[in-house]
Amino acid sequence: MLLTQAEVTSASKQQVIIHLFTGGTSVTDQPTLDECGATYPSESKRDARIQVGYVTVDATGQQTQSASNEVVRYELGGTDQAYRELATAIRTCPPRVPLGKGTVVSHLRVLPVDPQLVTRQRTVVAQITSKGQPIWFAATFLFDGDLFDGVYTYDASKSVAIRVDRALARTANQRLRAALASEGTAT
């Protein structure tokens, strides 16, 4: 179900390398939902998880995170609970959320629903500032059946982060629906 290297390269118009995140398969050591500094009790209902990152490499060998994709299987009722918790967190998000080590998330905005995606979806865009350097973050959260698929993109340009996120979310959505259809659990 994860996005392929070729799909991310095509959407971002940059060559990327895929890698498994440290703790990328852990349901106990790494959170899936952590937006707005909220608490997500649904984290304890995750049965399986995988998260990969896609990095670009410049001519000097410097790597920059450009996207990430996370797929989670929840126990019965877990995605419903996670969706409600996320919706509440986003609705009540403070204007600035400190993440530690001088990193702050600000300017969070909810984007309009994409009619091409599953019904239970949220897409947000926010600015992340770390060590005085701002970058835009766009994230689409897809919930269907007992599966969650998160697509996260990063770019210096807000419009590019949103454009790439939307394109990748539509691909992830197709995979999510296909996986659930093969299980007979699509909603």
> Among 38-47, 60-69, 129-138, 173-182, which stretch is predicted with the lowest mean pLDDT?
60-69
The full set of domain ranges for the chain reads 5-183
Total Cβ atoms within 10 A of residue 30: 17
Radius of gyration from C-alpha coordinates of the chain: 16
- HEC string for 97-139: EEEECCEEEEEEEECCCCCCCCCEEEEEEEEEEECCEEEEEEE
Which helix (H) or strand (E) segment holds residue 167: the answer is: helix 158-183
pLDDT of residue 65: 82
Of 170, 135, 122, 163, nearest to 65 (Cα)?
135
- Which tens digits make up the pLDDT trace of 155-176? 999 999 999 999 999 999 999 9
CATH number for the domain whose boundaries are 5-183? 3.40.1000
Quote the CA–CA distance of 91 and 124 in Å, as a whole number. 11
pLDDT at 44 over 90: yes
Q: What is the mean pLDDT of residues 105-130?
A: 96
- Which tens digits make up the pLDDT trace of 91-103? 999 999 998 888 9
How many CA within 13 A on the CB side of residue 65? Answer: 17
